[in-house]
Amino acid sequence: MLSLTSPVKTRYHRLPAAAKLLALSLATFLLFVIETPVFVVAVLLATALLYAVPGRAFWTEGLRLLRPVVFFVAVVLVWHIVTNDVATGIMICLRLVAAVALANLVTMTTRLEDMLDVVRKLFAPFRRFGLSPDVLAFSVALVVRFAPVLLEKGTRLAEAWRARSARRARWNIILPLTLIVLDDADHVSEALRARGGVETTY
């Protein structure tokens, strides 16, 4: 499985995975609890600064990973413009961009194996209920790996729709995107079966 870790080495790479995941959880929680616009903007600016510190290459890669979010931001803004609630729409979009950017920052600077080790330790108590921490950790890894991939495919579908139609892509791309997701899931399951399934350690 490919990792989303950035090849551009930064100081963030040396930070413990557990600390970064804890900070990400806390920041995301506060983003959606504190409704003060100044706080949300401050978090967004701080996130931009974190991307800018390592240099231009890291900044550019971070922007590239945010491209799939543009489609969802546009949909949210259009909806709130139609419902005459622009201020709320802008706040939601700022929170969304900040949260995704922070999550990308963690995945870009943390090896997937290190994140899985943290998840295994968190899920260790579930072993007494017959659930394998390795399987649960692998499920999390699949979500981390394929969420940006599916976002990118959704963006490409929307772009293909706009290239062929004057109307905006709305619910029209849901069916083809669903088929793509099911097809990808089928390929992943076949690959796992060919490799003997998910290995577990006890």
Residues 96, 72 contacting (CB under 8 angstroms): yes
Average pLDDT of the segment spanning 175-198: 75
- HSE-CB at 97 with a 13 A cutoff on CA atoms is 26
**161-179 pLDDT tens trace:** 777 776 666 666 677 778 8
Is 131 a residue whose pLDDT tops 50? yes
25, 96, 128, 179 from 30: Cα distances, Å: 9, 13, 33, 35
Residues 73, 44 contacting (CB under 8 angstroms): no
At 47, give phi and psi (nearest 5°).
-65, -45
**56-109 pLDDT tens trace:** 999 998 888 888 788 788 888 888 898 888 888 999 999 999 999 998 899 889
| Residue 190 vs residue 37, higher pLDDT | 37
Residues 59, 101 contacting (CB under 8 angstroms): no
pLDDT score of 170? 62
pLDDT score of 198? 58
Residues 200, 134 contacting (CB under 8 angstroms): yes
- Predicted structure pTM score: 0.70
Question: Three-state SS for 170?
Answer: coil
**11-69 pLDDT tens trace:** 999 999 899 989 999 999 999 888 889 999 999 999 999 999 999 999 998 888 888 78
Is 202 a residue whose pLDDT tops 50? no
